[in-house]
Amino acid sequence: MYLDRIVETKRREVRLLKETLNMAEAERRIAAMPPTLGFEAALRSPKRQGMALIAEVKKASPSKGLIRADFDPVRLAQAYEAAGADCLSVLTDNEYFQGSADYLTAIRAAVKLPLLRKDFVIDESQIYEARLIGADAVLLIAAILPVARLRELKAAAESLGLDTLIEVHNADELDAVLQVTDRGLIGVNNRNLHTFETSLDVTAELAPRMPKRALLISESAIRTKEDVAYVGSGGASGVLIGETFMRRADVGEAVAEVMGPVSGAPASAAAGESADTGAGAADSEASR
Ligand SMILES: O=P(O)(O)OC[C@@H](O)[C@@H](O)c1c[nH]c2ccccc12
């Protein structure tokens, strides 16, 4: 089972991390850092009316192998920002997704969007690390966390100013999450992390059980604007999309096609010309 293997790897990584990360010192360093950006707040007032976008920076995955060969994380993040993504998700797992904590840190310096650390979090130390590398939010996956652990890790994240995106794939996992919270960001993963099978119907199946105060983010296997409309009609307020954008040479163009124009902006601006102004803003940010 893929997920079990990944968790095994994470246990090993956490053991190493705990040898190098002094929690008291981490707390001091975090206290001196600028505050986090509101990840949930950005998704609650999205740039496109009715549908928020978390765009993912993802080089590879265990199910698809290498997704993007010419992978420049900072350039991709800047293109997403210019195309009007509300937030970014950055894979930091190295062994299975060819991601890196350094990618997240480099992106943090180059864009103004809130960032999600996308990894398999099983221990507080990874949450401290997420804050230190520049994340604004962490993913917590219900499939790998017993309720008590989920509650502790969520509290740890919040104590550091991090928002959480809690991911579920079925009704049992959602019921477990509802023992912890009935608000915040709940991600419905359309991909089963045990089998890698995907179905957008998972979003619509779980949406009726979603509490009113939670924001439903539909994750994975979203490819077209029809898919976005489908999960939206099924109850999603936001989407998390990686592979579809990563497979396109011009990710900004792909965002415009799948998400449509940013509300209030002329269609042409969202389709490509905005890439100039947006990238320019990102450049000056990066060169500070
Ligand atoms: O590339 P996709 O199919 O658009 O999916 C993005 C995201 O949902 C996926 O990367 C993901 C969802 N949950 C995860 C948990 C760990 C790693 C990765 C993921």
Q: Which domains does the chain have, with CATH numbers?
A: 2-286 (3.20.20.70)
59 lines ligand 1 (CB under 6 A): no
Report the share of the chain in percent with pLDDT over 70: 92
Kindly state the tokens that stand for 254: 């792909």
Average pLDDT over residues 173-202: 95
Q: What is the mean pLDDT of residues 226-235?
A: 98
- Tell me, using a 6 A CB cutoff, whether residue 98 lines ligand 1: no
The type of residue at 182 is D
Residue 266's pLDDT is what? 62
Amino acid at 82: A
Paired tokens of 121: 């979090």
Residue 81 backbone phi and psi in degrees, to 5: -65, -45
Ligand 1, closest atom to CA 198?
3
At residue 264 the predicted structure's pLDDT band, cuts being 50, 70 and 90, is confident
User: To which residue do tokens 């902006």 refer?
Assistant: 265
Decide: 173 in ligand 1 pocket, CB within 6 A.
no
Beta bridge partners of 165: 139, 185
> In 3-state terms, what secondary structure has residue 10?
helix
Q: Is the minimum distance from the CB of 187 to ligand 1 under 6 angstroms? A: no
Q: How far away, in angstroms, is 91 Cα from ligand 1 center?
A: 9
Q: How many CB atoms lie within 10 A of CB 202?
A: 24
123 lines ligand 1 (CB under 6 A): no
- End-to-end Cα distance, the chain: 46
Closest C-alpha residue for ligand 1 atom 13: 189
- Give me ligand 1 centre to Cα 29, in Å: 30
Would you please indicate which residues are annotated as catalytic (active-site) residues? 56, 58, 118, 167, 189, 219-220
Q: What is the mean pLDDT of residues 92-102?
A: 98
* Ligand 1 centroid from CA 275, angstroms: 25
CA distance 213 to 78: 31
Q: Which residues 6+ apart lie within 8 Å of 180 measured at CB?
A: 147, 150, 151, 154, 166
211 alpha carbon – ligand 1 mean position (Å): 23
**Average pLDDT of the chain to the nearest whole number:** 93
Q: Which of 117, 57, 38, 86 is nearest to 238 (CA)?
A: 86
For residues 234-264, one letter each, b for 16 or more C-beta atoms within 10 angstroms of the residue's C-beta and e for the rest, the string is bbbbbbbbbbbbbeeeebbbbbbbbbbbbee
Q: What is the pLDDT of residue 196?
A: 87
pLDDT in tens, 21-64: 999 999 999 999 999 999 999 999 999 999 999 999 999 999 99
